[in-house]
Amino acid sequence: MLAVDETGFVKKGSKSAGVGRQYSGTAGRIENCQIGVFLAYVTPAGRTFLDRELYLPKAWIDDRDRCAGAGIGSEVPFRTKPELALAMLTRALDAAVPAGWATADEIYGQNAALRLALEERGLPYVLAVPVNQYTVGNPEGRIGQYRVDALSAAVPEEAWTRLSAGEGAKGPRFYDWARVPIRPLSEHSQGLTTSCMVSGRLAREGRSRVVVCPGAWPEPLLSPIAG
């Protein structure tokens, strides 16, 4: 499995490439930091880093003198975090890294270009998306654009299944899972002809989690991947 995530490196100065006041998940708040986007390779036998990209905020790219001072070439463009993730995933897939899935959190899952690229390469994915994102669904036979939390709320209580998404600091992390069919982004998705939304609610904390994945995969398989 190919897993994308980011981490922040808290800094005190202003000279390090890409440094600035931005949200750091590592610190859990806005800090003066650098943000690195990483691609990991995960198997039952272990995990390792495959690739990395440094996120350069637009304010940095717009200041070419500052870039030059940090050793950033004039040819380097601004790229969003999802664009950095897609570049790394593309390199891994082009190098024939054997992968059955890709996974990432909301920052990446809400990016249509990233999802589209994975569908067109035929790579199944489990990507979190924000609950206020719109997608094309067909609840009760009425096709249209719906917020994913509205689709989740329409699922009958008996359709939810409670499964563990893996171990956390306080024990197993239980989610309630249900399936809601949605439309794939690509018309040429390499055999991934259906796209399904798996909605999860973190049972103990009452929070919502929505995961988008292609195909009719069973919830017990998706739950640990999403975790």
Question: Which pTM does this prediction carry?
Answer: 0.87
Condensed to tens digits (0 to 9), the pLDDT of residues 196-223 reads 666 766 666 665 666 777 666 667 677 7
- From the CB of residue 210, how many other CB atoms can be counted at a distance below 10 Å? 26
Counted residue by residue, the chain has a size of 227
Structure tokens at 88: 């790394």
H or E segment at 39?
Answer: strand 29-43
Q: How far is CA 65 from CA 33, 34, 62, 72, 212, in A?
A: 20, 19, 9, 9, 41
Q: What is the pLDDT of residue 97?
A: 96
Contact 151, 180 (CB under 8 A): yes
pLDDT in tens, 87-105: 999 999 999 999 988 999 9
State the Cα–Cα distance between residues 42 and 40, nearest whole angstrom. 6
- pLDDT band at residue 135 using 50, 70 and 90 as cut-offs: confident
Q: Which region among 50-54, 92-96, 140-144 has the lowest average model confidence (pLDDT)?
A: 140-144
